[in-house]
Amino acid sequence: MPPRLLSFFSDIERSIEADQPSSPEGVWTSARTVNYGVGVARLELGMAPAGGTASPKGTIFLQGYQLADSSPCLKAALSWTGVEGIITRSIYSKPELSWTGEARKIAAEWLGGPPAVMDRPSVAAEAPEALSSLDSAVSA
Protein backbone atom coordinates (compact mmCIF):
# COMPACT_ATOMS: atom_id res chain seq x y z
CA MET A 1 0.00 0.00 0.00
CA PRO A 2 1.45 3.40 -0.94
CA PRO A 3 1.79 6.11 1.68
CA ARG A 4 -0.38 9.17 1.68
CA LEU A 5 1.45 12.09 0.11
CA LEU A 6 1.53 14.16 3.29
CA SER A 7 2.66 11.16 5.37
CA PHE A 8 5.56 10.69 2.97
CA PHE A 9 6.43 14.38 3.40
CA SER A 10 6.35 13.93 7.20
CA ASP A 11 8.89 11.12 6.86
CA ILE A 12 11.07 13.34 4.65
CA GLU A 13 10.87 16.24 7.13
CA ARG A 14 11.77 13.96 10.06
CA SER A 15 14.73 12.60 8.10
CA ILE A 16 16.00 16.08 7.22
CA GLU A 17 15.66 17.19 10.83
CA ALA A 18 17.47 14.05 12.04
CA ASP A 19 20.29 14.32 9.49
CA GLN A 20 20.82 18.06 9.88
CA PRO A 21 19.06 19.21 13.08
CA SER A 22 20.79 22.56 13.38
CA SER A 23 22.64 24.91 11.12
CA PRO A 24 24.38 28.25 11.47
CA GLU A 25 21.61 29.55 9.17
CA GLY A 26 18.84 28.65 11.65
CA VAL A 27 16.09 26.05 11.82
CA TRP A 28 14.23 24.22 9.08
CA THR A 29 10.87 25.53 7.91
CA SER A 30 8.44 23.83 5.58
CA ALA A 31 5.16 24.46 3.80
CA ARG A 32 3.03 21.72 2.24
CA THR A 33 0.47 21.88 -0.52
CA VAL A 34 -1.52 18.90 -1.76
CA ASN A 35 -4.21 18.18 -4.34
CA TYR A 36 -5.56 14.69 -3.70
CA GLY A 37 -7.83 14.92 -6.76
CA VAL A 38 -4.87 14.74 -9.15
CA GLY A 39 -2.43 13.07 -6.76
CA VAL A 40 0.23 15.78 -6.53
CA ALA A 41 1.86 17.53 -3.59
CA ARG A 42 4.59 20.09 -2.95
CA LEU A 43 6.92 20.53 0.03
CA GLU A 44 8.77 23.85 0.18
CA LEU A 45 11.81 23.78 2.46
CA GLY A 46 13.64 26.75 3.93
CA MET A 47 15.86 27.95 6.74
CA ALA A 48 14.90 30.61 9.27
CA PRO A 49 17.32 32.30 11.65
CA ALA A 50 16.12 32.78 15.22
CA GLY A 51 13.41 35.42 15.07
CA GLY A 52 14.01 36.02 11.36
CA THR A 53 12.32 35.40 8.05
CA ALA A 54 12.76 32.04 6.34
CA SER A 55 14.87 31.87 3.20
CA PRO A 56 13.83 29.23 0.64
CA LYS A 57 16.19 26.33 0.05
CA GLY A 58 14.23 24.19 -2.39
CA THR A 59 11.19 22.10 -3.17
CA ILE A 60 10.19 18.46 -3.38
CA PHE A 61 7.22 17.60 -5.61
CA LEU A 62 5.40 14.27 -5.32
CA GLN A 63 3.07 12.59 -7.76
CA GLY A 64 1.23 9.42 -6.79
CA TYR A 65 -0.30 7.19 -9.43
CA GLN A 66 -1.12 3.61 -10.39
CA LEU A 67 0.83 1.68 -13.01
CA ALA A 68 -0.85 -0.42 -15.70
CA ASP A 69 -0.66 -3.50 -13.45
CA SER A 70 -2.49 -1.52 -10.70
CA SER A 71 0.58 -1.29 -8.48
CA PRO A 72 1.18 2.08 -6.82
CA CYS A 73 4.07 4.32 -7.78
CA LEU A 74 5.37 7.56 -6.32
CA LYS A 75 7.44 10.01 -8.33
CA ALA A 76 9.56 12.60 -6.52
CA ALA A 77 11.04 15.68 -8.20
CA LEU A 78 13.76 17.45 -6.24
CA SER A 79 14.77 21.06 -6.88
CA TRP A 80 16.98 23.58 -5.15
CA THR A 81 16.61 27.37 -4.96
CA GLY A 82 18.85 29.12 -7.48
CA VAL A 83 19.46 25.97 -9.52
CA GLU A 84 17.73 25.32 -12.83
CA GLY A 85 16.46 21.82 -13.39
CA ILE A 86 15.24 18.96 -11.26
CA ILE A 87 16.17 15.44 -10.27
CA THR A 88 13.39 12.86 -10.51
CA ARG A 89 13.12 9.56 -8.71
CA SER A 90 10.41 6.93 -9.10
CA ILE A 91 9.54 4.60 -6.24
CA TYR A 92 7.81 1.38 -7.28
CA SER A 93 5.86 -0.61 -4.70
CA LYS A 94 7.33 -4.05 -3.97
CA PRO A 95 6.58 -6.45 -1.11
CA GLU A 96 9.89 -5.68 0.64
CA LEU A 97 9.72 -1.89 0.10
CA SER A 98 9.96 0.40 3.12
CA TRP A 99 8.23 3.71 2.37
CA THR A 100 9.96 5.29 5.36
CA GLY A 101 13.31 4.09 4.05
CA GLU A 102 12.53 5.57 0.64
CA ALA A 103 11.60 8.89 2.27
CA ARG A 104 14.96 8.84 4.04
CA LYS A 105 16.75 8.29 0.72
CA ILE A 106 14.88 11.21 -0.88
CA ALA A 107 15.70 13.45 2.11
CA ALA A 108 19.39 12.47 2.01
CA GLU A 109 19.59 13.12 -1.72
CA TRP A 110 17.93 16.53 -1.34
CA LEU A 111 20.24 17.45 1.57
CA GLY A 112 23.22 16.42 -0.57
CA GLY A 113 22.44 19.27 -2.94
CA PRO A 114 22.08 19.41 -6.68
CA PRO A 115 24.29 17.22 -8.85
CA ALA A 116 26.41 18.68 -11.66
CA VAL A 117 23.94 17.43 -14.31
CA MET A 118 20.19 17.91 -13.87
CA ASP A 119 17.36 15.94 -15.53
CA ARG A 120 15.21 18.74 -16.94
CA PRO A 121 15.09 22.53 -16.97
CA SER A 122 11.88 22.81 -14.95
CA VAL A 123 9.13 20.85 -13.23
CA ALA A 124 6.46 22.92 -15.00
CA ALA A 125 7.55 21.51 -18.36
CA GLU A 126 6.96 17.98 -17.06
CA ALA A 127 3.36 18.17 -15.85
CA PRO A 128 1.88 21.64 -16.42
CA GLU A 129 -1.73 20.54 -15.88
CA ALA A 130 -1.06 18.84 -12.55
CA LEU A 131 1.03 21.70 -11.19
CA SER A 132 -1.41 24.38 -12.32
CA SER A 133 -4.26 22.47 -10.67
CA LEU A 134 -2.15 22.31 -7.49
CA ASP A 135 -1.56 26.06 -7.61
CA SER A 136 -5.24 26.80 -8.31
CA ALA A 137 -6.25 24.56 -5.39
CA VAL A 138 -3.98 26.60 -3.14
CA SER A 139 -5.48 29.89 -4.35
CA ALA A 140 -9.04 28.71 -3.80
pLDDT confidence of residue 5: 84
Residue 11's pLDDT band, with cuts at 50, 70 and 90, is very high
Q: Is the pLDDT of residue 10 over 80?
A: yes
Dump pLDDT digits (tens) for 54-93.
Answer: 889 999 999 998 889 988 899 999 999 998 889 999 999 8
pLDDT confidence of residue 122: 47
Please state the rounded mean pLDDT for residues 5-20: 89
Measured CA to CA, the distance from residue 63 to residue 36 in angstroms comes to: 10
pTM of the model: 0.79
Instruction: Give how many domains the chain has, as a whole number.
Output: 1
Dump pLDDT digits (tens) for 85-126.
Answer: 899 999 998 889 898 999 999 999 999 988 876 655 544 444
Say if residues 92 and 71 touch (Cβ distance below 8 Å): yes
State the residue range of the domain holding 113.
5-139
